Amino acid sequence: MAIAGPCTIDPKDPNRFYETAEALKEAGAHAVMGGVWKPHTNPYSYQGYDKALEILMEGSRRTGLPASTEVMDERNLNLAMEAGVQMLQIGTRNALNYSLLRAVGQAVAGTDTAVLLKRGRHIGPINEFLSAAEYIVNFGNPNVLLCHRGTLPSCEVYRNHPDESITPLLKEKTWAPVVFDPSHSVGKALHVEACSLAAVAYGADGLCIEANIDPVTGLGDDPKQAITPEAFRRLLQKCESIWELRS
Ligand code: PEP
Ligand code: MN
């Protein structure tokens, strides 16, 4: 299972998102993602725009793929739920924001909306991650995907230290699908494939990958770490061979 799309939807260029979504669908993606609201370290960077939510939903409608985006607060959460986003993401910065986790759990209770919860960037015990997921599922919707995406880098080479080796530990302790995000782990398009293959070999059920038809001119993280739909297709084909071997 692969979720793919640009880090940030460019509200001035909706066609870029539609074309990316269509190319990713054609390349085998199962859900399309796009950042509407962004948790940037630098407060002067682009912070998101509500209008991008309409673009996300239109891309989902055109492709028939479920839409996924990160919500950072209850305002984002309400707008995303009203718009019908099928998979909410909780990013690493909010991984332990218990009031948001509780609000998300309440909002998705009794719906089909899934939640992709990312593990905090700071290395924490696996149980801390599982307890965060428990805050959501407690309200009755068990549809949570556990996503790890690298921890604080142990060297300057990668953006974060790829932590795909925790996949079997997560799978040992929970029934929830485990998804790996290679893009924010390595932070370099060149290494996304190797990191994805390793995660799938370790047992990951899915991948969450930044991709853009033209990464170089994309917003947010895309110039450095997004892959093209063509690279995504090749990567997914290789991962599928591993998934088959494992089954
Ligand atoms: C992102 O998806 O662009 C992002 C900021 O992710 P993370 O929460 O993993 O840093
Ligand atoms: Mn990003």
Q: What is the DSSP string of 87-153?
A: EEEE-GGGTT-HHHHHHHHHHHTTS--EEEEEPPSS---HHHHHHHHHHHHTTS---EEEEE--BS-
Q: Is the CB of 8 under 6 A from ligand 1?
A: no
Residues of the chain with pLDDT under 50: none
Residues in the chain, overall count: 247
pTM over 0.95: yes
Residue having the nearest C-alpha atom to atom 8 of ligand 1 = 91
Closest CA to 48 of 61, 62, 34: 34
Q: Is the CB of 205 under 6 A from ligand 1?
A: no
Longest dimension (CA), the chain: 47
133-179 pLDDT, tens per residue? Answer: 999 999 999 999 999 999 988 777 889 999 999 999 999 999 999 99
Distance of alpha carbon 28 from alpha carbon 102, whole angstroms: 33
Identify the pLDDT of residue 157. Answer: 81
For 10-19, the CB contacts below 8 A with 24+ separation are 10/52, 10/218, 10/219, 11/49, 11/51, 11/52, 11/55, 14/55, 14/58, 16/212, 16/213, 16/214, 16/218, 17/55, 17/56, 17/59, 18/55, 18/58, 18/59, 18/62, 19/213
Where is 20: in which H helix or E strand? Answer: helix 14-27
Question: Across the strands, what pairs with 227?
Answer: 211
Identify the pLDDT of residue 192. Answer: 98
105-128 pLDDT, tens per residue? Answer: 999 999 999 999 999 888 789 999
Q: Which of 92, 151, 208 to mutate to test the pocket of ligand 1 (most atoms within 8 A of CB)?
A: 92
